[in-house]
């Protein structure tokens, strides 16, 4: 018994430390997985689309996008989801629960990401900048709506997602109908913006860096990331 207690007391001493960021782990296996954040290693690849992941469980969840498997069901509306976390967020639509509360004004939100964006109202932080006019925005979607007309044509900054999906912004079939995210209930006027938003929940990252392999939800995020490798400083 004494031996057992002594081993328990020395658990911290047996922890494994990351040599890059100093984070401690109780198990060596957890440290190995963590190190992939720094090395960019993604040993688990999807055989269907080629997307790679740092962990096997994340790959398993990703595969449900291709198989269509949705094992998690809402008991209220019977809607099904691929991930348990998506179901938890969805349930808040029915319960009205808003567990993420702003410490400044007390406003509540269903998701942490919504609180993060909201908090910039108080801090004044505007991390997204338009390449064309230099105007700054609190969230990426606001930047997307900032278009400039030059010589009678609409000019998009190099940051704008030029994928076929983004071209549906002006699709007249959407009209003024509000499109709602089935997971979190957030509403959008354009189907393309809804599709972009959904990637937050599905963790789909179709844009990959050819230099280090890191993947991103949006093409503009990849463009910004590439400056790390190219050394480009467009705003100086």
CATH code of the domain containing 217? 3.30.160.60
Q: What is the pLDDT of residues 186-217, one digit of tens each?
A: 888 888 888 888 877 777 777 777 667 677 77
- Confidence class for position 156, pLDDT limits 50, 70, 90: very low
* Local confidence band at 126 (pLDDT 50, 70, 90 cut-offs): confident
176/3 Cα distance (integer angstroms): 70
Angle, CA of 118, 181 and 143, to the nearest 5°: 45
Does the predicted model carry a pTM greater than 0.85? Answer: no
- Is residue 55 included in any domain, yes or no? no
Task: Quote the pLDDT of residue 2.
Answer: 43
Look at residue 155 and tell me if it is in a domain: no
CA distances from 39 to 45, 55, 58, 215 (A): 16, 14, 18, 13
From residue 146, how far is each of 20, 154, 187, 190, 200 by CA, in Å? 39, 11, 19, 15, 22
- Exposed (0-12), middle (13-18) or buried (19+): which is 159, by Cβ within 10 Å? buried
What is the domain extent for residue 197?
178-229
> Tell me, what DSSP letter sits at residue 23?
-
Q: Would you say residue 220 lies in a domain?
A: yes
Residue 20 lies in a domain: no
Asked if the structure places residue 192 within a domain, the reply is yes
Structural domain contains residue 137: no
Q: What is the pLDDT of residue 211?
A: 62
Using alpha carbons, list the distances in angstroms from residue 121 to 124, 136, 153, 235.
5, 13, 33, 24
In a domain, 217, yes or no: yes
Mean pLDDT of the chain: 74
Upper half-sphere CA count for residue 153 (Cβ side, 13 Å): 3
| pLDDT tens, residue by residue, 168-180 | 334 444 445 678 8
How many domains, in total, are found in the chain? 1
Residue 164 lies in a domain: no
């Amino acid at each position: 018994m004494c031996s057992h207690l002594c081993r328990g007391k020395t658990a911290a001493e047996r922890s494994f430390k990351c040599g890059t960021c100093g984070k401690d782990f109780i198990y060596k296996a957890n440290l190995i997985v963590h190190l992939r954040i720094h090395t960019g290693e993604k040993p688990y690849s999807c055989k269907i689309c080629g997307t790679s992941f740092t962990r096997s469980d994340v790959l398993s969840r990703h595969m449900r996008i291709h198989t269509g498997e949705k094992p998690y069901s809402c008991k209220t509306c019977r809607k099904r989801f691929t991930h348990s976390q998506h179901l938890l967020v969805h349930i808040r639509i029915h319960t009205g629960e808003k567990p993420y509360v702003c410490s400044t004004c007390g406003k509540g939100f269903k998701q942490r990401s919504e609180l993060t964006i909201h908090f910039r109202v108080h801090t004044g932080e505007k991390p997204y900048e338009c390449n064309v006019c230099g105007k700054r925005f609190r969230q990426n979607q606001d930047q997307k709506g900032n278009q400039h007309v030059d010589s009678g044509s609409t000019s998009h900054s190099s940051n704008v997602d030029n994928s076929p999906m983004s071209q549906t912004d002006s699709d007249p079939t959407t009209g003024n109908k509000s499109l709602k995210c089935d997971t979190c209930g957030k509403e959008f006027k354009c189907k393309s913006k809804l599709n972009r938003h959904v990637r937050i929940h599905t963790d789909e990252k179709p844009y990959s860096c050819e230099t280090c392999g890191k993947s991103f939800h949006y093409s503009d995020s990849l463009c910004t990331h590439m400056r790390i490798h190219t050394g480009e400083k467009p705003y100086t």
